[in-house]
Structure 1
Amino acid sequence: MKVCLMPLSPALEDWRQKSLSWCWKEQAIAYWKGGDWSDDSRPVLLLIHGFPTASWDWVAMWDALADHFRLLAVDMIGFGFSAKPRAYAYSIKDQADLLAGLAAELNITHMHILAHDYGDTVAQELLARHNGGDARTPHLQSIVLLNGGLFPETHLATFNQRLLHSPIGFLVSRLMSESRFNAGFSEVFGPQTKPEPAELKDFWAMVEFNGGMKPIGHKLIRYIAERRANRERWVEALQQAAIPLRVIDGGADPVSGAHMVARYRELVPDPDTVILEGIGHYPQVEAPKAVLDAFMDFHRKAHTL
């Protein structure tokens, strides 16, 4: 297996060392468990990361969430510390299969979800399956969605995303550098919550791990087209949900900020939304306490703890 040649920060290396491994289609998948898994009365919370990052996104909230839940976080295939095979048919539905498969492996029958970005779309697919009574999908008890492209018509892709999704995406992917990544990544954060240089180093290290995203970035980005092709299925999943839902959104996000929440309020019955003013596309990184407060408030009101 190819590994990252650049050194990991002590904190990121510690996170990597705590990972567990599971085999999916002959590929190694990294995942993490937190909280007291010996206590079956504790609810399970699945954390689903976004593009192009990984489960490290949740680290600032990890310990606080572990006080209340049995946590499961997975670096989906093509991301973070998991395998990044070149000859692989990446898709949202395959990622949903992966998560459902790992849940079955761990004997998880019921779970809550906290998702972000690309992970929102995976959560929508899992919800569509749940709504349809798919026996292979764990019973979903609630979903909280952070910034993400829930509706193709409100997703304002970044310049780098548009290039990756273009016919020359394979070239753009191979030309991606740390400086270009840093510039594009920082622009989706809030004006007062830009990532520090050390944080950017950690995010880039995960992108580059296991051979990096350069050979596969143009394949992963196809989720944008998948959202368009599956809009009816994934929007109806939200509209028809019989479980508690909440959106917690960094309103200053140029990709899926307050404008996305406005559309959510138009389309989803009895919308439960929280906008974090001045926060960008990564609220769990930019304002973890605010996200945690809104998340725990949701669960208290839903009586799910």
Structure 2
Amino acid sequence: MTAGTRFGVVLLPQERWPQARRRWLRAEEYGFDHAWTYDHLSWRSLVDEPWFATVPLLAAAAAVTERIRLGTWVASPNFRHPVPFAKDVMGLDDVSEGRLLLGVGAGGTGFDARVLGAPPTPAVRTRRFAEFTALLDLMLTQPMTDHVGEFYEAHGARMLPGCVQQPRVPFVVAANGPRAMAVAAKHGQGWATFGPSMPDDEGQPRRTVAQAQERWWRGLAEMVEQLEEVAREAGRDPATLERYLNIDGAPVFSLESFAVLEEGVERAAALGFTDVVVHWPRAEGVYAGSEAVLEEAASRLPQLRTLGR
């Protein structure tokens, strides 16, 4: 295992494969420990832009890379059923020769939540997520599964020959609140977060960017405390749960400059995060930035790994 903080990068599934292939290969050449793509049908401000499917993209990336771990950031029940999806997960684990990380989450309230019909209430979404994750866990750890639950059924669902990674692919469970954190504590090898949401405060004076950044870090520290409390209540040693922070949830894009990334990594490590994830810079819009900063970060990964430790 790499000493110190591990680093990952998210590549949005927007380019046709000849261009995307070069980026996935570069992510491995740069020395990143893991690379991810969003598991959505489309996403927020990019809803009318090109957007490719997750499973074939990760299969293609697995076929051309050798070392880097690959993952979903994150798969959800918004449009996935755990029975056929478990087959996809087993297949990706096979093609990657055991390099898959399965990021899972409850799903948001955007396009994916309503494209198949009316979205569920938050309480229903959380219950559905708990069952979704538990059924994936069952299916990926045994050859045949029967299950009848509130949201899903499986009748003689077979999973042969099983995962390359044993007892199954590692789950990295996205959670910002206590109920989802309980799912992470029960089923996750890792916990993933974008950190606290930052709603505008109507009627309050507009905060500076620096003030918003500090508020975000304080909120993240509170989330870490909550995760540890939930884990202990579930009988789980919090230290056994790896912690993945997508640092681009902060008000300032992590790759705005190397200095911004350096400070963020140090603060994340001090809060106990084992892994930090950034986004490959886009030319414009969300996550817009310069690839030169990404290249600088890659060239200084050994330095970054030791910060805050």
Structure of greater relative contact order (alpha carbons < 8 Å, 6+ residues apart): 1
- TM-score where L is the length of structure 1: 0.34
- TM-score where L is the length of structure 2: 0.33
Q: Report which of the two structures shows the higher radius of gyration computed on alpha carbons.
A: 2
